[in-house]
Amino acid sequence: MTDEIPPRRQLAFLPTPIVELPRLSARVGGPRIWMKRDDQTGLATGGNKTRKLEYLLGDALAQGADTLITAGAVQSNHCRQTAAAAAACGLDCHLVLGGTQPDEPNGNLLLDRLLGAHIHWAGPYRKGEDIPRLAAELRANGCTPYEVPYGGSNAVGAMGFVEAARELRVQMSERDFDFTHVVFASSSGGTHAGLLAGMRYHGLPLAPLGIQIDKEENGEPFAQIVERLASTVAASFGLEEPFADGELGLVEDYAGTYGVVGTGEREAIEMTAHTEGILLDPVYTGRAMAALIDMIRRVHFSDDDRIVFWHTGGSAALFAYADELLSR
C-alpha cells in the first residue's frame, strides 16, 4: 500500500451484518440470496455513503476545512449522510440540491434540515454543477470549504469500498460464506470502482454485478467512468493493470429515469418488505433488487449460485414517494 491512502475519520458502525434472505429467495426461486446491510452503518439512518465519507472527512479535516459542500437530488441519501458527517465533526454543511424548494420538507430533505445543513436550490442541476461557484463565495466570506463530489465518488471516497471488500472477505472467511456474485446499485461510480479495486487487492473471487441506475446524459459513458476510477484507486495500492470492460460487471439493461418508481421497483420494495421485513429505497436498492429479481426469473443464475445483495441504504426517501409506492 502506498502513502497516497488518505486519512480516515471513523463514522460508521462496522462491520455491517450479512443476513440470509430465505423467504425472498423462496418467493423468487433460483439461487440463495444474502444481504450486506449497509443500511445499518448508523449515520442518520445509515447508508453506503458513510464508508466514503470516512475518507473524505479524514481528508477534509487534514486540510483544515471548516465547511463541507456537496450536491445531489432533493432526496439524496449522499447529501443526508454528508450533513450528518459534518454535524458529527463540527463542520458547517452546504447542500446544492436539484429542483426547487417544496412546500413541505419530508424524507431526506427533512433530515438535512434537522442536521443543520444550509440548502441551495439548483433547478435542473443535481450533480454539483454549482459547487465551484458556491465554494468561491464561501472562501470570499472567510470559510475554508471542502468540496465533496457528487455521490462521494472520487478516488478518496472510493477507498471506503476498498476497505468494504476487505470486510466482506473477513466475514466470508469467519462464517464460511462462499458467495459467487455481489449485486449492488451503481450510480455515481464510487461504490462500484472501490469494490472492483478492493476485490482485486484483497483477492476476493466474486463476480460483480453493478446495476446501472441512471440513463446516460450525453456525457462520458458510465463504463468509462467506472473503469477509470477503479484503475486510479487500484494504482494507489500498486496495482497498475487497468480494468478491462469484461471485468467491470456493469449491468446496463435496467438504467432508467433517475428517481422514477416503476412497476419493477414497486414490486421489489414490497416483496422484500413482505418476505423479510427489510425496507429498500425507491431510487437505488429498489431498482437494483428489481434487476436481481428479473435476472433470476430470466435464469441468469444457476440454482447453485450464492448471491450477496449490497443494501446501500436510503429508506428515509420512502416517505417522499408514498403516492408512487401505493398507487396501482
pLDDT in tens, 93-148: 999 999 899 988 999 999 999 999 999 999 888 787 889 999 999 999 999 999 99
Q: Hunting for cell 460464506 — which residue is that? A: 177
**Is the domain of 121 the same as that of 185?**
no
Q: Is residue 7 part of a domain?
A: no
**Is the domain of 108 the same as that of 193?**
no
CB 301 within 8 A of CB 30: yes
**Is the domain of 58 the same as that of 88?**
yes
* pTM for this entry: 0.95
Q: What's the confidence (pLDDT) of residue 328? A: 60
Q: Assess whether 153 carries a catalytic annotation.
A: no
Asked if pLDDT for residue 261 goes beyond 50, the answer is yes
Per DSSP, the three-state class of 126 is coil
Q: Is residue 6 part of a domain?
A: no
Mean pLDDT of the chain, nearest integer = 95
Q: What's the confidence (pLDDT) of residue 204? A: 95
**Is the domain of 159 the same as that of 105?**
no
**Is the domain of 200 the same as that of 260?**
yes
Q: What's the confidence (pLDDT) of residue 170? A: 97
**Is the domain of 316 the same as that of 255?**
yes
**Is the domain of 74 the same as that of 199?**
no
CA 89 to chain CA centroid, nearest Å? 21
Catalytic residue among 76, 187, 231, 315: 76
**Is the domain of 175 the same as that of 139?**
no
**pLDDT for 190-230, tens place per residue?**
999 999 999 999 999 999 999 999 988 667 899 999 999 99
CB 65 within 8 A of CB 144: yes
Structural domains of the chain, count: 2
Residue 256's identity, in one-letter code, is G
DSSP character for 142? T
Which domain covers residue 293, as residue numbers? Answer: 18-47+154-326
**Is the domain of 230 the same as that of 317?**
yes
Helix axis angle, 77-89 relative to 49-62, nearest 10°? 40
**Is the domain of 183 the same as that of 123?**
no
Q: Is residue 77 part of a domain?
A: yes
CA separation (Å) from 199 to 90, 156, 202, 217, 247? 34, 17, 5, 29, 11
Task: Check which CATH number belongs to the domain holding 164 and give it.
Answer: 3.40.50.1100
**Is the domain of 137 the same as that of 64?**
yes
Boundary of a domain, candidates 134, 151, 168: 151
**Is the domain of 286 the same as that of 207?**
yes
Q: What percent of the chain has pLDDT over 90?
A: 88
